[in-house]
Structure formats: structure tokens, C-alpha cells
Chains A and B, each alone.
Chain A
Amino acid sequence: MCGWHLDIRPFKIVPGMKNLFTLLNDAFPPDMSLFSVSLKAVAETLQIAYMGTLLGLALSLPFGILGARNLFSKRVTIPVRVFLGAIRTMPSLLWAVVFVIMIGLGPFAGVLATVMYTTGYLGKLQYEAIEGINPEPLEAMSGMGASKFQLIRFVVIPESANHLISQALFMFEYNVRASTILGFVGAGGIGFYISAYLRYLEYDKVFMLILIVFVTVLVIDYISLKIRDRYLMIK
């Protein structure tokens, strides 16, 4: 039923291969003259992802804490969860459209779009991580008369720190990938160049840009893997 509805017809792939070969023929070899431009553009994309993740993390932490049912009553957690759910509904590309309309073209719109999505997504991951912490230290500290603030500072944050850092790293990796297409709607980064060269059918330049993105994502994944191994194992 779905296959019929979605027009899934495998035999269409065979004649389509001809178009793929034409595309690859145009794309090879990648245009190396674009190397320095690609590096600058990918650096901007990385900065958008970094700033977006950092600010999003800072915003999501209080929302994550307020959304945890083992710390606050439903009167607090439900509105916070609804808010986080609402901002998570829109992907960062749509947020980028909103901010480009609001503040104009450029990487600032990309940063704001990344902040919004990161806040919604990390906020949810964080309240789930906080709800999963061992309840015993919370109860012990409550039994000793610790204030809510002290509980958060000395139990919740240390007990969930590994999860929070791991999630922030994951979110940065995700944001690097997501930020590459924010330029399609004018929100800065390498996506702007990819979209422009695609429009002029200059596939060798597009391929060069995609290669740079590919290598960057691999390097970021490797670095974050190393950070996880180095700092997130309890020693």
C-alpha cells in the first residue's frame, strides 16, 4: 500500500543510473581551486554549530532541570516539557527561515536557529537523564535538609554530568551536519556555496565542498570519540 502510494518502482533505478554517471562525470575531478574558499566556509559552519551548541546547552540546562519530575511538581514540569516539545517540532532549517526573515541573511540567523533546536532537543535529553539518576543521594540530601538549589548543585549535576557532556558532544556533531544546509536558506556557512553552485550546475565545485564537509564531519566525530574516551569514563 505504502509502496504504491509512494511510487516505489525499483526498475526506475536502472535508467536513472545513466543520470548518475553524467553527474559523477561532471563532478570529477573536484575543483581544487575552491579549497581555500571551502575551508573558510566550513570554518563558518563549525562556528555556527559551536556557538549554537554552546548557547543551546546553556539554555537547555535550566529547562532540563525544571522539566525533571523527580525534582519539580507537574505544575512546573508540564509547561516546560510542552515548551521544549514545541521548539523541537521545527527542524533547524525551518528555524533558520524564521530568523532570516526576522534579522536578515547571514550566520547570526544560523546561530539562532541552531540555538533553538539545540535547546529543545538537549532539554528533553537532559530531563530524561536527570530522571534516571540514582534516587538515593537525592533522598539522603533531602533527609539532611538540603535546599533545592543544593540538591541540584551537589547531586543532580555531578550524578548526571557524564550524560550531559555526552549529549552536548552528540548535539555538536549533529549541529555540524545540520549547519551545512542552513546556508540553503541564507543562514550562513558552507551550505550557501553548495546551494549556489548547485543552482549553476557546477558539480565539480559542489563535490569539492561536499568532500570538505565529509572530512570535517569525520574529524569532528573522531575528536568527540576521543573526548568521550578521555573524560567520560569514570576512573
Chain B
Amino acid sequence: MTSSQTQTDQQLSTPTRPTLVELKNVSVSFGRISVLKNVSLRVSQGVVHGIIGPSGTGKTTLIKIINGLVRPDEGYVNVLGCRINGQKHADLISLRHQIGYIPQNLGLVKILTARENVLMGSLARIGSLRTCLKIFPKIELERSDILLEKLGLLPKADIRVHKLSGGEQKRVAIARALMQNPKILLADEFLSDLDYNNAERIMKEIIKLKINLDLTVIMVEHNLALAREFCNTVSAITPEGSLEVSDFKAWEPKFSDIWTF
């Protein structure tokens, strides 16, 4: 880790930066099955926050709570100053416009091209009638091309997504999420099927874009090495609840012992 990065980390962890996401004692069950129990989380603006934990502890559910796809049974959830508990559906939709979301399997529409998938991220800004005819404003087309270029995908912009490699599809999903111009980027274990080198390359691209766009990234990550290298703050989710990990290096051997990755 370079000295400038350490300095940036120190700045990011200072309490003066506003909190964008705050969860207190959140619990969720699906029927009789308890998925999340007593989870608390605080994410400051501009950080890369990692969520780690063994399989089945509700990390994906936690991500879905943050963008309002799942409502908690108990606890307090505040995202971008908006209290999610009890919000109307329309309010949740306008909140989601500010949150980029990359699900575990990316959720790309395979029959559409890379550019069309990226343009999906601009739907919140464009009227439904215009988009119905796939007429996108010039500014949005330019923006999508800029993002595709930054992620090295411009030559493949007009290729249907199912023809792209796994790594390229992930870049399309990143570009689509950034096309929203989000304040927060939620990424759910989307690097899990890549080898370390490719995952590291994509993470470096995200970090570069994060700095340019003043983005806050919350990512579920199974790979502890990636979490250690790229996350400024980390929360561990366990069946008993959540744990803020202040000294990741001290905790890492314990995680490796307890969890099967």
C-alpha cells in the first residue's frame, strides 16, 4: 500500500465525512427462516466498504435492504438521508435512481447490445415514451460511450452481451450502474467467478472511477485478499450479527479459520 493511499484511507475514516448508509439492529426473516439478525452498519461518503461473511449469512439480503428491494422486519435503515422503513414505493424508486446496483449474476439483458445495456442506466432520467422507441438523447449516448471507452469496451459496444466474455460482461454491468450517475454503488459478489488477477484489474478500474465520480462503494466480497487490498472499511456478517472490523489484518486469520470460502 502506498503512503498516499494510507493518507487517503485515514482521511476517509475520519468521522467528519457524512454517513450515507446507516443500519441499526436490522433483522429480516423469510417465513420462519431468519436471514439477517441484529445487523448494524455505517458507511461514510467516499469509502469502499466491504461486507464479508460466510455463505448464508444474508450478505445479499443486506445489499437488497440498502436499495429497498427487501424491507427489514426490525431495525432502522437510513440511506442518503432517507429512512427506508415505511417508505412508499414511489419514494423508494426515486432513492434507487441514486444507487447503482450490480447483482451477483449481473442481471444484463443478454439479447441487447453492450451499449443498450449501459443505456438502461439512464432510464431514470428519460421519459418512458421516448425510451419506448429506444430513442435516447444525444447526451446519454455520449455518456454511455465515454463509460464504455473508460472500461475498454467501446469497440464491442454494438455486440450482444451474451457474446462477450465474463470479464467484459462485468464491465458492462459496471458501466450500466455508473450510467445512473449514482452516489452509491452496490456490488454483490460480482467478481466471485473471476481469477484474482482479473478481479484485481476490474477493482482497480472501479477505484479509479470512484475517485473521479466521488462514489461510495459497498461491495459484498468473498475474497479476503481483494477485501484487504481495496476496502477502506469492512463489516463482517456472522449468524449472530454484524461486526465492524477496524483492524482487518488482525482479523483475517480468524476469518480464514472460521469460514469456508
Contact = CB atoms under 8 A, between A and B. Distances in A.
A145 B94 contact: yes
A136 B103 contact: yes
Contacts of A141: 107, 120, 123
B100 A137 contact: no
A163 B123 CA distance: 26
Nearest to B98: A145
B97 A158 contact: no
A140 B107 contact: yes
Contacts of B162: 234
A147 B128 contact: yes
B222 interface: no
B108 to A, nearest CB: 6
A144 B101 contact: yes
A159 B109 CA distance: 7
A140 B128 CA distance: 18
Given A137-B108, A144-B123, A149 B103 contact: no
A139 to B, nearest CB: 6
Contacts of A161: 111
Given A137-B109, A159-B111, A147 B93 contact: yes
A143 B218 CA distance: 14
A142 B100 CA distance: 11
Interface residues of A, number: 22
B177 interface: yes
Contacts of A138: 107
Contact of A144 (B105, B121, B160): B121
Contacts of B170: none
Nearest to B63: A143
Interface string A133-157: 0101111111111110110011100
B131 A153 contact: yes
Interface in B130-148: 131-132
Determine which residue in B67, B105, B109 has the highest number of CB atoms from chain A within 10 A of its CB, and name it. B109
Contacts of B97: 144-145
Interface in B187-214: none
A142 B124 CA distance: 11
B109 A146 contact: no
Contacts, number: 84
Interface in B60-111: 64, 67, 69, 92-97, 99-103, 105-111
B177 A144 contact: yes
Contacts of B107: 136-141, 143
A158 B112 contact: yes
Contacts of A137: 107-109
Contacts of B128: 147, 149-150, 153
A153 B129 CA distance: 10
A154 B123 contact: yes
Nearest to B66: A143
B238 interface: no
B77 to A, nearest CB: 15
A143 B111 contact: no
A134 B112 CA distance: 14
Given A144-B96, A145-B93, A145-B97, A139 B103 contact: yes
Contact of A153 (B105, B121, B132): B132
A158 to B, nearest CB: 5
Given A136-B103, A153-B131, A234-B162, A143 B69 contact: yes
Interface string B11-27: 00000000000000000
B180 interface: yes
A146 B120 contact: yes
B158 to A, nearest CB: 14
A139 B107 CA distance: 7
A207 B75 CA distance: 77
A146 B121 CA distance: 9
A145 B95 contact: yes
Q: Could you say which of A138, A144, A146 has the most chain B C-beta atoms within 10 Å of its C-beta? A: A144
Interface string A201-235: 00000000000000000000000000000000010
24 contacts: A134-B110, A137-B107, A137-B109, A139-B69, A139-B103, A140-B106, A140-B107, A140-B173, A141-B120, A144-B97, A145-B96, A145-B97, A146-B123, A146-B124, A147-B93, A149-B132, A150-B123, A153-B128, A153-B131, A154-B109, A154-B112, A154-B120, A158-B112, A161-B111
Given A137-B107, A143-B99, A144-B177, 4 more contacts: A144-B100, A158-B109, A158-B112, A234-B110
List the 9 shortest-distance A-B pairs measured between CB atoms, nearest first.
Answer: A140-B107, A145-B96, A143-B101, A136-B107, A145-B97, A145-B93, A137-B107, A158-B111, A136-B105
